[in-house]
Structure 1
Amino acid sequence: MPVLRWVAWEADSLGEIIIMPHVLGPWSDLGMGAMGLRLFSTKRGMAEVMPRLAEVEADVQGLVEAHMEIMLGVRFLASEYSTGPVHGGRIDSLGLDENGSPVIVEYKRATDAGVINQGLFYLSWLMDHRDEFQHLVRDRIGAGAAGRILWSAPRVICVVGDFTRYDVHAVREHRRSIDLVRYRLYSDDHISLETVASVRGHAGAPRRRSGAGARTAAAPGRQTADRAMADLSKALDEVLLGLGDDVAAVRRKQYTAYRRLRNFVCVPPARQAKTLVYVKVDPREVDLTLGFTRDVTGLGHHGTGDLEVQLRSERDLERAGELLRLAYAGA
């Protein structure tokens, strides 16, 4: 099921928004018929808000670059970055995601058959010029971030007016992490981002069955508590990866991040008595339970997410299921 993220400015100019199912209709010429969505404003009666493409590519690029961390979970580094006279070309946007992975963002106003290959062309240049990228991160963000770049999981994000089925097939043939994101503008105040396809890079984030942050298989004689935590971590890993084919597990020393376009769950290595799970759900919207859920907004911890869920048993994992699905849907 595609994900629809909304980013709004001066939302009250449109009023309350209702999204209703729709199979075929006036959006088909924009490639929206398959989405099954219609958007209405109720501020003055009931008026349908029609989608549109940007006038020029630069409008989309400027909007995303100005709000990249909110929209894509990526810290903006540079725009129109030159790859030099030998390689030739300019990377639309360079960034660093929540896990320290280098990110190339390419934009097209409408459908463009070359956007994926263009992004991969620039990614190849980036992997050959790691020192240059590291200097850029140091200058823009700081030495700490520059020293924690995750080179095993670079990404390409294509923000485009529309994609074809050939584009979706093409990304599945590559070994890199590629996200195809379709944008639409509504009136002057809303933009939607829909993840059309998200492919994990085989080298950086393979599916694992050994458990999120878990140690290797339990040796004979290991204490029962350790074995139980290893089993629980494995079950958690399977649940998170099973939420959708677009879930990637990005492993760092301090945590494993599960992401779609952006992180939705982070899991540090399991402790002897419990597994901590940091979930991208607003703690203010959850009925917190002592010993199970905790608001950690502003508290230091590895990874992202302001809601801490404490798992001590597979029963706790079942209790957490709805929170995990909610975080996945919002990513």
Structure 2
Amino acid sequence: MSGLKLFNTKSGVTEVAPRLAEVEGDVQDLIEAHMETMVGVRFLASEYSTGPVHGGRIDSLGIDENGAPVIVEYKRATDAGVINQGLFYLSWLMDHKAEFGHLVRDRLGAAVAAQVLWSAPRLICVAGDFTRYDVHAVREHRRSIDLVRYRFFGNEHVGLETVASVTGQTAAPRAARRRRAAEVPRARRAEGAMAELTAAVDEVLLGLGDDITKVENRTYRAYQRLRNFACVCPPQQTKLLVYLKADPTKVDLVPGFTRDVTGLGHHGTGDLEARLRTDRDLERAQELFRLSYAAA
């Protein structure tokens, strides 16, 4: 990992040397077995065949916490072809939405299949390293792409580092565009304070790091690294609800401001709810935002 050193502090201080996997499959097997924990994606299939005409096999198929289809491709070390290979499979996926929908229905149920977010498909490339040309290339594509560097440390630790994360620029569905157009006059009618607070929250969340992308879901806006760390619901008349990845058992909950929503139904992801009404609430919430960003 770039610039990162890991030390074992038992019986003195000993550096744990980073290493690459012996074979590519070691990385794939580990991430597929713990995909939701490691990259925030629910696993669907491994080595998924794209059929005799297309003639390929997608390393891993999944769906993220916002409902977006995800392709994960792995390389043991640096490989200039991983991005193009992933994009090749992503194009196939966009032409086979019904097939993906059947897979989701079979593995996760009809309710999840009905909520697939086709406006934001993702490609995650996991490799030993990437070049500056790779980082430049993803910024030229109109797709959501995450470049993730891995390293093993000894036999018990693995590290993941997001090298680049780019939000796709695909056109929103026509219905979504109509929805947003209809929301403009409603936003103008809403209290100016809530509109300003929503814009301020957006600025603060995006300012936490360079690896943040926004995803517009049907009922919330997600801010994510590899996983969501904050979800902002549409502003209500007197408050703005933000759901965070921070552990509610490790923060001091304040009645009327924060609450533990673990196991409670709500839009978005995260077990800590923050209710923002004023700029002062936003100031109080910023440390929670940072904790959530770190947890993702």
Q: How large is the Cα RMSD of the aligned pairs?
A: 1.8
From the superposition, tell whether residues 284 and 87 of structure 1 become closer, same or farther in structure 2 (CA, over 3 Å): same
From the superposition, tell whether residues 80 and 219 of structure 1 become closer, same or farther in structure 2 (CA, over 3 Å): closer
Cα separation, 2, equivalents of 1:162 and 1:217 = 47
* Residue 117 (structure 1) aligns with: 84
Cα separation, 2, equivalents of 1:218 and 1:81 = 45
Q: Which amino acid aligns with 2:30?
A: L
Q: Which has the higher helix share?
A: 2
* Residue 175 (structure 2) aligns with: none
* Residue 176 (structure 2) aligns with: none
Cα separation, 2, equivalents of 1:61 and 1:186 = 17
Q: Which amino acid aligns with 2:164?
A: A
Q: Is the 1:176–1:203 contact (alpha carbons within 8 Å) kept by the matching residues of 2?
A: yes
2:71 equivalent among 82, 89, 104? 104
1:253 equivalent among 218, 227, 238? 218
Cα separation, 1, equivalents of 2:64 and 2:208 = 22
Q: Does 1:216 align with 2:184?
A: yes
* Residue 314 (structure 1) aligns with: 279
DSSP 3-state at the match of 1:257: strand
DSSP 3-state at the match of 2:60: strand
DSSP 3-state at the match of 2:184: coil
* Residue 74 (structure 1) aligns with: 41
DSSP 3-state at the match of 2:71: strand
* Residue 13 (structure 1) aligns with: none
Q: Does 1:40 align with 2:3?
A: no
Q: Is the 1:218–1:227 contact (alpha carbons within 8 Å) kept by the matching residues of 2?
A: no
What does 1:140-151 align with in structure 2 at a 5 Å threshold? 140-151=107-118
* Residue 325 (structure 1) aligns with: 290
Q: Which amino acid aligns with 1:293?
A: T
Q: Tell me the number of residue pairs that the alignment of Structure 1 and Structure 2 aligns.
A: 288
* Residue 284 (structure 1) aligns with: 249
What does 1:1-331 align with in structure 2 at a 5 Å threshold? 32=1, 35-203=2-170, 215-216=183-184, 222=189, 226-331=191-296
Q: In the TM superposition, what is the alpha-carbon distance from 1:45 to its structure 2 partner?
A: 2.4
1:60-84 CA-partner distances (Å, limit 9, x unpaired)? 1000000000000000000000001
DSSP 3-state at the match of 2:44: strand
Q: In the TM superposition, what is the alpha-carbon distance from 1:247 to its structure 2 partner?
A: 1.7
DSSP 3-state at the match of 1:37: coil
Q: In the TM superposition, what is the alpha-carbon distance from 1:329 to its structure 2 partner?
A: 2.6
1:110-154 CA-partner distances (Å, limit 9, x unpaired)? 000000000000000000000000000000110001000000000
Q: Is the 1:153–1:204 contact (alpha carbons within 8 Å) kept by the matching residues of 2?
A: no
Cα separation, 1, equivalents of 2:228 and 2:277 = 23
TM, length-normalised to structure 1:
0.83
Q: Which amino acid aligns with 1:236?
A: V
Q: Is the 1:200–1:246 contact (alpha carbons within 8 Å) kept by the matching residues of 2?
A: no
Cα separation, 2, equivalents of 1:268 and 1:311 = 11
More deviation in 103-112 or 242-251?
Answer: 242-251
Unaligned runs of 5+ in 2: 173-179
Cα separation, 2, equivalents of 1:269 and 1:122 = 34
Q: Is the 2:240–2:277 contact (alpha carbons within 8 Å) kept by the matching residues of 1?
A: yes
Cα separation, 1, equivalents of 2:170 and 2:202 = 18
1:272-325 CA-partner distances (Å, limit 9, x unpaired)? 111111011001111111111111111111111111101001111111111112
Cα separation, 1, equivalents of 2:226 and 2:201 = 20
1:7-31 CA-partner distances (Å, limit 9, x unpaired)? xxxxxxxxxxxxxxxxxxxxxxxxx
Identity score, percent: 73
Q: In the TM superposition, what is the alpha-carbon distance from 1:242 to its structure 2 partner?
A: 2.6
Q: In the TM superposition, what is the alpha-carbon distance from 1:36 to its structure 2 partner?
A: 2.2
